[in-house]
A and B are shown apart, each in its own frame.
Chain A
Amino acid sequence: MKESARRMLALALTGALASSFALFGCTANTTSTTSASSSSGAAAQPVELQLFAANSLSKAMDEAQALYTSQNPSVTFADTQYKGSGELNEMLAAGSYADALITASGATMDTAVEKGYVNEATRQNMFSNELVIVAKEDAPYQDVTLADIATGEHTLCVGDDSVPAGTYAAQALSTVGLYEPPADQAGKTGADISGKGGTYVGITPVLQTSVGNVCKQAENGDVDFAIVYSSDVYRFGGVKIVGIIPNDAHKPIVYPGAICTESGNYSAAEDFLQWCLTDPDAQAIWQKWGFTLAE
């Protein structure tokens, strides 16, 4: 009896194993074809680039990639991951593959360089952006300043520590005493703090995991104000700019780009980043979506 029970179990396990092997078999096929295409260096060979880009770039980057593919049919793009820059680093840490990484802050790119995800020599600043206070499109607010938020009469949504827009917002809010940096940066405010690991004082903002979600909270009217990039306003619609945060209240907002160390399409990825920065048609896309090409 026991024997046959074991046999049953063995049968079931064999079935499970067989199906999992079938799974691996499928991947084996797909990975071998992609690696075959990626190992070829020649420009005429088809190349598929995998980009990891800051969440705020989503619509503009999709458009740029479509244009690049139409100009260079041999280069196509895998589904680009648009997440909070901190989350992109976590994904790279967990072992996902990318050819190039574009983050929304110097600090997150520093992390990527430190951990060896990207090649530091290829790092360059690509875009700059602006921090603004937004509200639902039909909200009655206008000319809102940080001091207005400091009154504590309004609800606020910002990004969490993994979201660069959230750290910029924390830096800005520290200038009006709404954010207290961690002990090692005590007494500093604005551009002098990292905007991470501290606590909000006097207000309890809603924290979100990407700047897109932050903007959505304002659009839905769940909060009165959200602190996002000016490009997000144009990306989503449904919100309006009610105040601009002074540039000196936070670190300069730059989007560094770099090629990943594990990239198998080094030159193709480099060509694409260069095209983003220099081609006039690409410039037309960035200016349409509100990304200033950095100096």
Chain B
Amino acid sequence: MLKIRGAATSLLILLMVVACLVPTLAWASEEESLGSVEEPAAPIAALSATDAASVERGQQMFGNVSVSAEGDAALIEGCRFGVSDFVRAQSGSDRAVDGVYRGYNYYVGTEPENVAVVSTGDHAVVYLPASVAASFGIDLASVDDRAMLKDYLVALDSANARGSSRLETVPSWHFTDQAVYELDGVAFRFDEQLTEGRYYLCVIGVDGGDVTAQSHPSHITLEHADFARIVEPDQVVIAQEATGLAWLGEFLSAIDYSPLWVTLRTTGIAILIIFVLGLAAAYFTLRISPRAQDIFDSIFTIPMVLPPTVCGFLLLLAFGRSTALGQWFIDVGFPLVFSWQATVIAAVIVAFPLMYRSARGAFENLDPNMLDAARTLGWSNPRIFFKLMLPLSWSSIAAGTVLSFARALGEFGATLFLAGNYAGITRTIPIAIYFEWMNGNTDVAIFWTIVIMIFSFIVILFINLWSRRTTKYRRRERGEDAGKRGQAKRGPHVLGGGGEEELERGVAAYEAQRMEGGAR
């Protein structure tokens, strides 16, 4: 019977994982199709004079230009040259190179003879090195060749723009094959070798001044620059975007799994501490005067009522550098804040009340007569605790453990306050979700969300299965064992004589019933 139930449980879990995976895959492919439809939408409008775009799945088309998934290479079908090694520079540098001011400069690479284009918003200056033009037979005087070059650059630029300025909106285009091009008092110096084997693009006033300064008479705003190499068409590699399972495999292999281990380590250690402390606190509050009980109960429960951020803030105040306690911990070499112990401390504080309350509720519900009977038989308190209280309230304690485990697993506010966000040290899954989203990695955030949802589902399922077991036995007990209970209620005197053995036998029978109930 147990086997069947186990198989059913694992089947259910498997089903759930599949159920979670299907939307993920659907979402993944949706993402792709969205990407390939949206991206070309704007260029199509801009290049409406050219062909209508054919949108293929997993491939970026800009007009008649097909662009590699990486956005670094492009090819026009039938063209006698292709473009590769495309890079976009959002900004440059206004620093002196090797101690000499060379103007606003962009670093291009270690090879000369790159195609370059600089945009000032109103003007785009395109440089095609004369030697490259000659070897590929490109004539900058020809309108067709210019259009072809412009199509390439606009397509690649749009694929890399990501919401920034685009070449396609630039109204005035200038083409040159000379390394120095002057426009309105501004000199564009291409292919400048400023240091050994390092090539730059420099934009400087004809007078040698900084044209990006507002005060310069020929002031311009440099929006961005692009660099690329002209290659034979057969050397252009148009990489297709990975789709479906290939995409998923790529995605899963790129994920940093450290948040999972950090979470498991934190929760694992925290639950051990919570278990011991929770039971101890519950036992402790049962044995003190009612007035003290109220006070301690409030203290033990308050982390559950307070927002986790308040707990985190108080802990930070207590253990931070500004307090004697925190300073002492720093001095002895165990800084408590922003370390992985901090995640454990935060999880313990926040999840402890759940364990405490479950254990206390269970202890309070125990039949006091049974405990009194044990005492009259001379059982020591530890023996009563371990042999009577724990076994009898085990189901509640287990549920409390699982609940506090789940709470510790999802701890965010106090952890962020006290432990911060250090990958591999304090970045737990909830923190990873927030920061991955914040850093623009929405896919990864969704991945962790799915992981934690599956995990939570399993935990709740576990509690449900467990409570079904326990309630089954209670139902049985109510029916069949009513007589026995009635006897017990008559008082401890029933247990006189060989009472100790009877009590132990009673507990054994009780346990046996539970096991039996569980097996069904």
Number of A-B contacts (CB under 8 A): 171
A147 at interface, CB cutoff 8 A: no
Docked Cα-Cα span, A283 to B321, in Å, equals 37
B440 at interface, CB cutoff 8 A: yes
Q: Residues 256-295 of chain A: 1 if any B CB is under 8 Å from the residue's CB, otherwise 0?
A: 0000000000000000000001001101101111111111
Docked Cα-Cα span, A273 to B165, in Å, equals 29
Interchain CB contact under 8 A, B95 and A294: yes
Interchain CB contact under 8 A, B283 and A91: no
A81 at interface, CB cutoff 8 A: yes
B514 at interface, CB cutoff 8 A: no
Interchain CB contact under 8 A, A95 and B337: yes
Docked Cα-Cα span, A32 to B195, in Å, equals 43
Interchain CB contact under 8 A, B341 and A24: yes
Docked Cα-Cα span, A290 to B162, in Å, equals 12
- Number of residues of chain A lying within 8 A (CB) of chain B: 68
B94 at interface, CB cutoff 8 A: yes
Identify which of A95, A212, A284 contacts B338 (C-beta below 8 A).
A95
Interchain CB contact under 8 A, B90 and A295: no
Residues of chain B contacted by A186 (CB below 8 angstroms): none
Residues of chain B contacted by A32 (CB below 8 angstroms): 333
Q: Residues 116-154 of chain A: 1 if any B CB is under 8 Å from the residue's CB, otherwise 0?
A: 000000000000100000100110000000000000000
Interchain CB contact under 8 A, A290 and B90: yes
If the complex has contacts A8-B381, A213-B438, are A293 and B94 also in contact, measured as CB distance less than 8 A? yes
Interchain CB contact under 8 A, A280 and B437: no
Shortest CB-to-CB span from A213 to chain B, Å, is 6
Shortest CB-to-CB span from A29 to chain B, Å, is 11
Residues of chain B contacted by A210 (CB below 8 angstroms): 438
Interface of A is mostly: helix
Interchain CB contact under 8 A, A212 and B162: no
Q: Residues 326-346 of chain B: 1 if any A CB is under 8 Å from the residue's CB, otherwise 0?
A: 100010011101111100100
Interchain CB contact under 8 A, A95 and B326: yes
Docked Cα-Cα span, A187 to B505, in Å, equals 87
For A284, give the chain B residue with the smallest CB separation.
B107
For A130, give the chain B residue with the smallest CB separation.
B91
If the complex has contacts A7-B382, A241-B164, A293-B94, are A19 and B269 also in contact, measured as CB distance less than 8 A? yes
Shortest CB-to-CB span from B171 to chain A, Å, is 15
Interchain CB contact under 8 A, B92 and A287: yes
A23 at interface, CB cutoff 8 A: yes
A42 at interface, CB cutoff 8 A: no
Identify which of A94, A234, A293 contacts B95 (C-beta below 8 A).
A293
Docked Cα-Cα span, A290 to B439, in Å, equals 16
Interchain CB contact under 8 A, B163 and A292: no
Residues of chain A contacted by B162 (CB below 8 angstroms): 233-234, 237
For A289, give the chain B residue with the smallest CB separation.
B90
Residues of chain B contacted by A286 (CB below 8 angstroms): 91, 93
Residues of chain B contacted by A28 (CB below 8 angstroms): 333-334
Interchain CB contact under 8 A, A240 and B94: no
Residues of chain B contacted by A236 (CB below 8 angstroms): 440
Interchain CB contact under 8 A, B107 and A19: no
A64 at interface, CB cutoff 8 A: no
Docked Cα-Cα span, A194 to B269, in Å, equals 46
Docked Cα-Cα span, A7 to B276, in Å, equals 14
B353 at interface, CB cutoff 8 A: no
Shortest CB-to-CB span from A55 to chain B, Å, is 8
B408 at interface, CB cutoff 8 A: no
Segment 191-248 of B: residues with Cβ below 8 Å from A: 195, 198, 214
Interchain CB contact under 8 A, A288 and B90: yes
Identify which of B38, B95, B163, B283 contacts A233 (C-beta below 8 A).
B163
Interchain CB contact under 8 A, A239 and B214: no
What are 11 sample pairs from A and B whose C-beta atoms fall under 8 A apart? A1-B375, A5-B284, A32-B333, A212-B440, A216-B437, A231-B91, A233-B164, A235-B440, A237-B440, A240-B163, A294-B95
B-to-A contact residues, CB < 8 Å: 38, 87-95, 106-107, 109, 162-165, 195, 198, 214, 269, 272-273, 276-277, 279-280, 283-284, 287, 316, 320-322, 326, 330, 333-335, 337-341, 344, 375, 380-382, 385, 420-425, 427, 437-440
Given A94-B321, A294-B95, 13 other A-B residues pairs in contact with their CB atoms under 8 A: A4-B381, A7-B381, A8-B280, A12-B283, A19-B269, A59-B439, A91-B420, A97-B335, A231-B91, A235-B440, A241-B165, A277-B95, A284-B87
User: 7 closest Cβ contacts across the A-B interface?
Assistant: A12-B280, A95-B321, A290-B90, A4-B381, A293-B93, A240-B163, A287-B89
